[in-house]
Amino acid sequence: MAATPEELVDIEAIRQLKARYFRLMDQKQWDDWRDVFVEDVEIRTPDDTGDPTPIIGRDVFVDGLVPMIDAVPTVHHGHMSEIAVDGDAATGVWSMEDHLWWPPESGLGHMWGTGWYEETYRRCADGAWRIATMLLRRVRIEADGAQIFPRVVA
């Protein structure tokens, strides 16, 4: 169903919210990055971690992730949003691609992947949209050019 002109304002706000999600992460601006999520955000990255259990809470999520990637150059690109607004709630799907250059001592090398974010958003009391739930599904992840997801079964 087509969006209304009023909903286009919300769609653009959510699009720029997700743009800040990507940019602030890659620029390591963690205080501003924290603010793109609702306090009780629910994060799932099962294809990356092998763990389907959601992480609940932006402080738990951000405080856990920052020590892992603060010193790691990262590039996260998002594409082709499908956003639908319903009052103060919204859903979105984004195609994505990312690069991480882990330090030599990690043995992880250059990690590259693609997939989709399936998300919901909430219009908060201050009028700003924030990410409420985020699920990252993967098509493929490579480490130094070798496929690591989908897991290769010998």
Residues of this chain that interact with a copy of itself (CB under 8 A) are 2-6, 8-13, 15-16, 18-20, 22-23, 26, 73-75, 77-83, 93, 95, 97, 99, 101, 114, 116, 127, 139-140
Using alpha carbons, select from 124, 114, 131 the residue that is nearest to residue 21: 131
On whether the CB atoms of residues 94 and 80 are closer than 8 A, the answer is: yes
> At closest approach, how far in Å is the CB of 104 from a copy of itself?
12
Q: Which is nearer to a copy of itself, 55 or 78 (CB)?
A: 78
Q: How many CA atoms lie within 13 A of 1 on its CB side?
A: 7
Query: Residue 17 and residue 84: Cα distance in Å, rounded?
Result: 14
145: which residues sit within 8 A by CB, 6+ positions away? 110
Phi then psi for residue 13, to 5 deg, are: -65, -40
Least gap, CB of 128 to a copy of itself (angstroms): 9
Nearer to a copy of itself, 102 or 116 (CB): 116
In this complex, which beta carbon is closest to a copy of itself, that of residue 34 or of residue 76? 76
Between residues 50 and 127, which has the closer beta carbon with respect to a copy of itself?
Answer: 127
- Terminal CA-to-CA distance of the chain, rounded, Å? 46
Q: 55 vs 100, which CB is nearer to a copy of itself? A: 100
CB of 142 to a copy of itself, least distance (A): 10
Shortest distance, position 14 Cβ to a copy of itself, whole Å:
10
In the complex, the smallest distance separating the C-beta of residue 152 from a copy of itself, rounded to whole angstroms, is 12
Q: How many angstroms from the chain centroid is the CA of residue 93?
A: 11
